[in-house]
Structure 1
Amino acid sequence: MKDWRLIQVIQEMYRQQAEMYKNREDKISDRIVSIYQPHVRPIPRGKDRISTEFGSKQLVMLKDGYTHIEKLSWDNYKEGSLLTESLETYKRLFGCYPERVLGDQLFGTRENRRFMNGKGIRYVGKPLGRPSSNSKEQKRLLQKEMPERNAIEGKFGQGKNGYGLGKIKARLKDTAESWVMSIYFVMNLLKLAAGSLLSVLQIYYWLVTEGYLTTMGNRSYTQFISRYLRH
């Protein structure tokens, strides 16, 4: 069965390459770049050091230091188009809309701003159009609040540097996604332990007792979580 799936992936990859060669194109939808990980897609990043990345793309919300994954996909997508959906998720989880939204400029589209204005949500970002009479005051407020967005970037850095978020070695799609979810789960647990009477060791024993470390279907998960919960 494994070899049959591999043959199917190779046939589809050959079809894609032949079609691009025939049409003299250098891109195609759902392009396969790995026969062992056919779900992985090349994602252009536009960065100076790395122009293209391979892996899952995560849209994450941060509240009080805790992370919630709104969307995890192996295909490229526009985060700005998912803002209204994310805000509805926020309301469903916490019972109200957030007071303000801090994000990249790509979240500040006219459609998103209209939605946020209608819900009484303040968007922290550069205003559209010509500068208003109180533009200097708005600029000072923006310069004061925008550094708070570093918290979400720091959370990504914490996951990559401390927990291997950028080095997921699982081949299967479901296993890799479970690995990513486990990393955010552990970071949230450590945040909870830091602000409560629970110790990291107590949380680890709770995970073992409840069976979370044995039902993940992969021994490496148990080793991964137990290792970092000891830190």
Structure 2
Amino acid sequence: MLRVAGVQDPWWEVLPEQARQMPSELARIDAYLDDERFIAPWRAVFAERLGRPSIPVETLLRLLYLKHRYQLGYETLCREVADSLSWRRFCRIPLTSPVPHPTTLIKLVRRSGVQTAEQLNAALLGKLAEDKLLRCRKLRIDTTVIEADIDHPTDADLLEHGVRKLGRLVRRIKAAGAARRTSFRDRSRSAGRRLKEISRTLRRRTGQALGEIDRLTGEIATVARATLRDVAAVERNALRALGKRPSGRLAHLVGELAETAAGTRRLLEQTALRLAGIRTIPDRLVSLADPDARPIRKGKPQHPTQFGYTALVAEDERGFVVDHKVQRGNPPDAPQLVPSVERVTTLTGRPPGTVVADRGFGFAANDQALTELGVQRIGLQRAGRPGKARREYERSRPFRRMRNWRVGIEARISHLKRGFGFRRTRLRRLTGAQTWAGLGVFAYNLQRMTTLSR
């Protein structure tokens, strides 16, 4: 059930004035969040009258800001809020009330989803525009990688993970009362033993060791195939039991078993291709825990291949992130430019006067589309070898000024990665990455607002 505000705590008035004061940043944000537009997105998440009362929305909003502002885990966040008078007052938690449990926050974030994060960002940007803090006369755009919360994947490691997860799910299904008499052999130890042999073999660093690794990987694949044969019988009988005795928990376990089995089959296909000498595999699966993550190559020497999602970031001249979009894989940059500018135009009611981006966006079609939108100054360096007239234009002083200003987006992305969680998403799948990035942008724009409104 939706609960917008908590109870008023009279004990705050008993404390001395110095104990009741909040840091200036938190005081500004506390006042800024006192707006109905930040409550409205949560009304679709909670029922108005049914169910157990939720955490007050005003408390949840402020807890999420602190989490993404200071890069805290849920347990650390709750512990720090409980220990700090100023943070407790900022989150509007009475002195006599406990801080919400970390698992409660985790469930609420997952339940809120992408749409709530998008609506919160839209509400914040709209309020910033009304307060004349957001002008968006200039726009610089770039893309970056948000890494998934996974280890560096290898075929053997992924298959061993699949065998272990299938065995764990079968045990839970049998404990729930389904497919109890169906025979199943847990081969987790067998796969794990071969994975350890691969680890020992890698230390030799010889050509012979590579052949040994391929042999052991093939053996793990054989173990995975045998496990899948047993899983098929368990899944079939569990579905039969589910039809006789419906159970939400059992249905969830059977669905997860089917999804994991499908992912393991896909891993077997990838492994067979790799052992056959085919190294380039399109749309490669790199994780069973986060199946939406993809390998991404951005040409960085220190990180030749990253595993996660691609995020587009658009920043205005005052440092606000006015548009962002997280996508699966590594889509080309150029087609994302015009839709981003259109979204910003819808937000502000007018097109930005200047739009700059790097060579990945630099195509004549984008120049023409931006001109039709009403953009007056376009600073897109052309990809490839431009003609003589274009080279002279790119050497002109106005274009060089736009090009030099564009470089600042790299610093902004670095700031988001170091300070607001853009380096690695802690939520899984594409929807989780979009939610994580959206909440990070929300926290960043709030913090930026306090800097500009001093």
Q: Deviations over 1:48-67 (max 9, x none)?
A: 22211112211111123211
Among candidates 329, 333, 345, match of residue 79 of structure 1: 333
Residue number in structure 2 paired with 1:200:
none
In structure 1, what is the Cα distance between the partners aligned to 2:416 and 2:426? 15
What per-residue deviation string (whole Å, max 9, x for no partner) do you get for residues 148-187 of structure 1?
1133212211111123321323334433332221111100
Q: Which amino acid aligns with 2:259?
A: R
What's the counterpart of residue 125 of structure 2?
none
Output the amino acid matched with 1:96.
R
Determine if the alignment matches structure 1 residue 99 to structure 2 residue 353: yes
**Which residue is equivalent to 2:307?**
54
C-alpha distance 3-188 of structure 1, shift in aligned 2 (>3 A)? same
Pick the aligned partner of 2:403 from 146, 149, 153: 146
Distance 1:36 1:193, change over 3 A: same
Q: Which has the higher helix share?
A: 2
Match of 1:123 among 347, 357, 378: 378
Q: How does 1:1-231 map to 2 (within 5 A)?
A: 1=253, 2-19=256-273, 21=275, 24-63=277-316, 64-121=318-375, 122-126=377-381, 128-131=386-389, 135=392, 138-196=395-453
Identity of aligned residues (%): 26
Residue identity opposite 1:110 in structure 2: A
CA distance in 1, matches of 2:265, 2:365: 42
Aligned counterparts of 2:418 and 2:443: Cα–Cα separation in 1:
14
**What is the TM-score when the length of structure 2 is the normalising length?**
0.39
Conserved 8 A contact 2:326-2:433: no
Query: How many angstroms apart in 2 are the aligned matches of 1:42 and 1:165?
Result: 17
Aligned-pair CA distance for 1:40:
0.7
CA contact (8 A) 1:126 1:142 kept: no
Q: 1:75 to 1:150 in 2, by over 3 A?
A: same
User: CA 1:82/1:168 → structure 2, altered by over 3 Å: closer, same or farther?
Assistant: closer
Instruction: Give CA-to-partner distance per residue, 1:58-95, whole Å, 9 cap, x none.
Output: 11111232113442112110111122222221221111
Residues 91 and 171 (structure 1), Cα distance of their counterparts in 2 relative to 1, 3 Å cut: closer
Match of 1:181, as an amino acid? G
**Rg: which structure is higher?**
2
Q: Distance in 1 between matches of 2:418 and 2:292?
A: 24
- Displacement of 1:110: 1.4
Instruction: Give a deviation string over 1:5-42, Cα, whole Å, max 9, x none.
Output: 322211122123334555x5322332101122111100
Q: Distance in 2 between the 1:76 and 1:91 partners?
A: 25
- Give the Cα separation in 1 of the matches to 2:405 and 2:370: 19
* Corresponding letter in the other structure for 2:327: S
When normalised by structure 1's length, the TM-score is 0.74
Gaps in structure 1 of 5+ consecutive residues = 198-231
Aligned residues: 195
- Cα 1:115/1:28, change in 2 over 3 Å: same
Structure ranking higher on relative contact order (CA contacts 8 Å, 6+ apart) = 2
The structure-2 alpha-carbon separation of the partners of 1:98 and 1:108, relative to structure 1 and needing over 3 Å to count, comes to same
Whichever residue aligns with residue 104 of structure 1, its letter is: D
Q: Counterpart of 2:439 in structure 1: which amino acid?
A: S
Kept after mapping to 2: 8 A contact 1:56/1:74: yes
SS at match of 1:55: strand
SS in structure 1 at match of 2:396: helix
Q: 1:58–1:69: 8 Å Cα contact kept in structure 2? A: no
Q: CA RMSD of the aligned region, Å?
A: 2.5
Deviates more, 1:65-74 or 1:187-196: 65-74
